[in-house]
Amino acid sequence: MARKIILATHGNFAQGIRTSLELICGKSTNVEVVCAYMREDFDLAQTVEIIIAENRKNELVVITDIFGGSVNNEFFKYVEEPNVYLISGLNLSLLIELYTQLEITDSLENLIIQAIKTSQETIKYCNLLKAKDEEEEF
């Protein structure tokens, strides 16, 4: 069973972050993007239905931009499928960890849990770090 990552976002964020991933990790062959609402005739429900149908034999890691947003909600309808793993909060740190470990992990679920934890740890308010460093100097 092949593994794929689907980046699904409002606007061109999915394409942009895939470009960043490829800048760092090289050409990605198992990463697809959904840039929702960029065309007037875009049908999210139909797009998601097609992705799920075409990938019945693949394991899909779907990463959306916003929890509870329309893109996330549409994929959420498929979380009971045995091969669909849905994550919200797309960011580059999360994507790189998932992408680089995707083919070698024994457990996608464990990889996802660890990648989310690591990604959360990389989110910092740097001004506070600077202030803390200055306080420690005294």
The 10s digit of each residue's pLDDT in 35-91 is 999 999 999 999 999 999 999 999 999 999 999 999 999 999 999 999 999 999 999
CATH 3.40.50.300 fits 3-136, yes or no: no
| Predicted local confidence at residue 15, as pLDDT | 98
Rounded to the nearest 10°, the torsion over CA 43, 47, 49, 51 is: 180
Task: Read off the tokens for 51.
Answer: 């992705």
The whole-model pTM stands at 0.92
